């Protein structure tokens, strides 16, 4: 999840989690008929969008089954948006977008994503708030602002005792979520059900296939869609992929390695600008400054930053070259006691909604079975503190998923069966969804996919930086349908921090 339109960065993917499960068209324990046959078409009544005005968009509400095992039972609402092609003669179909998360709204993404005109001419660009999120039927855990922060980003554990303390907090948060006023929705707020909602959107739009662009967690959503509906995807782009198991405990731990892979890019930048930021004249000195600041803030917070906030903000801002200067400014302010760049006195005021952490937990906890033994997390923290000392202990800490009910259905298995229409793009030094996990997804998809690796750092390859090679490959595929004949790579191009 790294776009300027995202109100919340899913730092612990998001950023940045499939074993045995379903056949091509139906999950285990679910009737195959609703999956094998096209869902009934539901007309969409396009009108004004909810929330802040988006003149470029129209919106509609679609009722979908809460539980696809009982398709004629209770329904929930999915809010859908459309940016229509202005050249109907050139239009190919529809392009659905998902910005990642999980738990992030997608309704305004078609207006905010800077798709080139040649792509917009070819598609009606479709956004939607996934089930449980935003203007779709929303979830809540009744978290306070502080609880919501801890739910997504638990403290960095310095010892086994810290894991014990966090386990008590995680257990309380899980209990609060699973007894909230929307707790009856929780078992059904999953990636598989969101993929089924996407197919209902396809049917309501009256098209036989959909094209799709998803980034970060959205890659897993796209891969699950291609597994459940292997012949209903047209041109599928997966940008910055999770492993084929999705966003589980191991994908989260993988961010410790991703942080270490990406951090040298920032260290080199900051060292070259030593006279401005005074963070160290060598990359090694900048790395040491990280540990100094983290330890100091663990002991005594400054300007609302404790050690956990410092680590989380650093991980978030490592996701884009354009944020490296801002990150250096934050470090400099924390190091010298100067006001933080862009700071104010609001103290995080305003109306708080816990919809993001609630939906985030619903998906990551409901998709996968997380370890339940406290000793497992203590072991993982100790191992990852040594393997990935900058961020590993943080990503290995225990979370509410350890105390969550078991998933309602088996996980969808990502396979090589189905239409060959998947294009993957992946930065070599991605801190949130590291290359190692993306390569395993590439292997699972087999000949269905082609992969383009990009010699740059950061999270999300398409339309985020100066590498026009990656942009051109994706644009060409969406416009013409032509993918590289084989997996390929884009060489480094000058960064623009």
pLDDT at 265: 98
175 within some domain: no
pLDDT at 20: 27
Q: At 26, is the pLDDT very low, low, confident or very high (cuts 50, 70, 90)? A: very low
For the residues 37-55, what does the mean pLDDT come to?
Answer: 76
Q: At 157, is the pLDDT very low, low, confident or very high (cuts 50, 70, 90)? A: very high
pLDDT at 253: 97
475, pLDDT greater than 70: yes
Q: How many domains does the chain have?
A: 1
Q: What's the domain range around 421?
A: 33-139+190-246+416-490
pLDDT at 156: 94
Q: How far apart are CA 137 and CA 152, in angstroms?
A: 21
132-142 pLDDT tens trace: 999 999 999 99
Which has the minimum average pLDDT: 28-32, 121-125, 157-161, 353-357? 28-32
pLDDT at 277: 98
pLDDT at 6: 41
For the residues 416-433, what does the mean pLDDT come to?
Answer: 95
For the residues 457-486, what does the mean pLDDT come to?
Answer: 95
315 within some domain: no
334, pLDDT greater than 70: yes
Supply the angle between the helices 217-228 and 191-205 in degrees, to the nearest 10.
Answer: 70
For the residues 313-319, what does the mean pLDDT come to?
Answer: 97
Q: At 22, is the pLDDT very low, low, confident or very high (cuts 50, 70, 90)? A: very low
pLDDT at 38: 54
**pTM listed for this prediction:** 0.91
Q: Is the peptide bond before 102 cis (omega within 30 degrees of 0)?
A: yes
For the residues 366-390, what does the mean pLDDT come to?
Answer: 98
93 within some domain: yes
Among residues 429, 157, 410, the alpha carbon closest in space to that of 320 is found at 429
As given in the structure block, the two tokens for residue 279 are 């963070």
Which has the minimum average pLDDT: 352-356, 423-427, 440-444, 491-495? 491-495
195 within some domain: yes
Phi, psi of 196 (to 5 degrees): -65, -35
Q: What is the CATH number of the domain that holds 61?
A: 3.40.50.1820
15, pLDDT greater than 90: no
371 within some domain: no
65-112 pLDDT tens trace: 999 999 999 999 999 999 999 898 999 999 999 999 999 999 999 999
177 within some domain: no
Q: Which residue has the higher pLDDT, 173 or 29?
A: 173
Close Cβ partners of 354 (under 8 Å, ≥ 6 residues apart): 140, 141, 142, 143, 144, 147, 148
Cβ neighbour number for residue 1 with a 10 Å cutoff: 28
195, pLDDT greater than 90: yes
pLDDT at 467: 86
pLDDT at 465: 79
202-232 pLDDT tens trace: 999 999 999 999 999 999 999 999 999 999 9
pLDDT at 35: 45
Q: How far apart are CA 335 and CA 354, in angstroms?
A: 31
pLDDT at 344: 57
Question: In 310-341, which positions are buried (b, 16+ CB within 10 angstroms) versus exposed (e)?
Answer: bbbbbbbbbbbbbbbbebbbbbbbbbeeeebe
**Could you tell me how far CA 324 lies from the centroid of its own chain?**
21
At residue 387's C-alpha, the angle toward residues 382 and 389, to 5°, is 80
Per the prediction, the chain carries an average pLDDT of 90
5, pLDDT greater than 60: no
pLDDT at 55: 79
pLDDT at 9: 35
pLDDT at 435: 98
pLDDT at 12: 36
2, pLDDT greater than 60: no
372 within some domain: no
**Could you tell me how far CA 253 lies from the centroid of its own chain?**
15
219 within some domain: yes
The percent of residues in the chain predicted with pLDDT above 90, rounded, is 85
The percent of residues in the chain predicted with pLDDT above 70, rounded, is 89
């Amino acid at each position: 999840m790294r776009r300027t339109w995202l109100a919340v960065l899913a730092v612990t993917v998001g950023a940045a989690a499939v074993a045995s499960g379903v056949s091509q068209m139906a999950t285990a324990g679910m009737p195959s008929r609703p999956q094998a046959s096209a869902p009934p078409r539901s007309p969409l009544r396009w009108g004004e969008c909810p929330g802040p005005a988006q003149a470029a968009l129209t919106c509609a509400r679609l009722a979908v089954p809460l539980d696809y095992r009982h398709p004629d039972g209770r329904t929930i609402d999915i809010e859908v948006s459309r940016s229509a092609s202005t050249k109907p003669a050139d239009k190919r179909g529809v392009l659905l977008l998902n910005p990642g998360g999980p738990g992030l709204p997608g309704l305004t993404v078609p207006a905010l994503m800077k798709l080139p005109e040649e792509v917009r001419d070819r598609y009606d660009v479709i956004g939607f708030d996934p089930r449980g999120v935003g203007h779709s039927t929303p979830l809540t855990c009744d978290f306070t602002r502080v609880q919501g922060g801890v739910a997504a980003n638990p403290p960095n554990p310095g010892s086994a005792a810290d894991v014990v303390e966090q386990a008590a907090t995680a257990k309380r948060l899980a209990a609060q979520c699973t007894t909230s006023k929307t707790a009856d929705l929780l078992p059904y707020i999953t990636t598989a059900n969101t993929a089924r909602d996407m197919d209902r959107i396809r049917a309501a739009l009256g098209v036989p296939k959909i094209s799709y662009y998803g980034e970060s967690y959205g890659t897993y959503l796209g891969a699950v869609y291609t597994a459940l509906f292997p012949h209903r995807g047209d041109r599928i782009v997966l940008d910055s992929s999770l492993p084929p198991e999705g966003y589980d405990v191991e994908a989260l731990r993988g961010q410790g390695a991703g942080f270490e892979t990406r951090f040298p890019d920032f260290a080199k930048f900051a060292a070259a600008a030593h006279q401005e930021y005074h963070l160290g004249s060598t990359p090694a000195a900048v790395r040491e400054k990280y540990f100094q600041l983290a330890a100091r803030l663990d002991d005594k917070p400054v300007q609302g930053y404790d050690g956990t906030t410092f680590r989380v903000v650093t991980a978030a801002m490592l996701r884009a070259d354009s944020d490296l200067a801002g990150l250096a400014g934050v470090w400099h302010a924390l190091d010298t006691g100067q006001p933080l760049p862009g700071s104010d006195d609001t103290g995080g005021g305003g109306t708080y909604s816990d919809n993001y952490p609630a939906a985030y937990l619903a998906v990551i906890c409901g998709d996968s079975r997380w370890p339940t033994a406290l000793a497992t997390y203590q072991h993982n923290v100790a191992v990852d503190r040594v393997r990935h000392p900058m961020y590993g202990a943080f990503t290995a800490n225990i979370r509410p998923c350890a105390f969550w009910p078991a998933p309602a259905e088996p996980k969808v298995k990502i396979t090589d069966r189905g239409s060959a229409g998947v294009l993957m793009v992946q930065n070599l030094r991605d801190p949130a969804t590291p290359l190692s996990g993306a390569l395993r997804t590439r292997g699972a998809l087999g000949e269905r996919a082609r992969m383009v690796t990009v010699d740059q750092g950061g999270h999300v390859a398409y339309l985020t930086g100066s590498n026009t090679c990656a942009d051109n490959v994706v644009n060409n595929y969406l416009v013409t349908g032509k993918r590289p004949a084989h997996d390929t790579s884009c060489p480094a191009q000058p960064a623009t921090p």
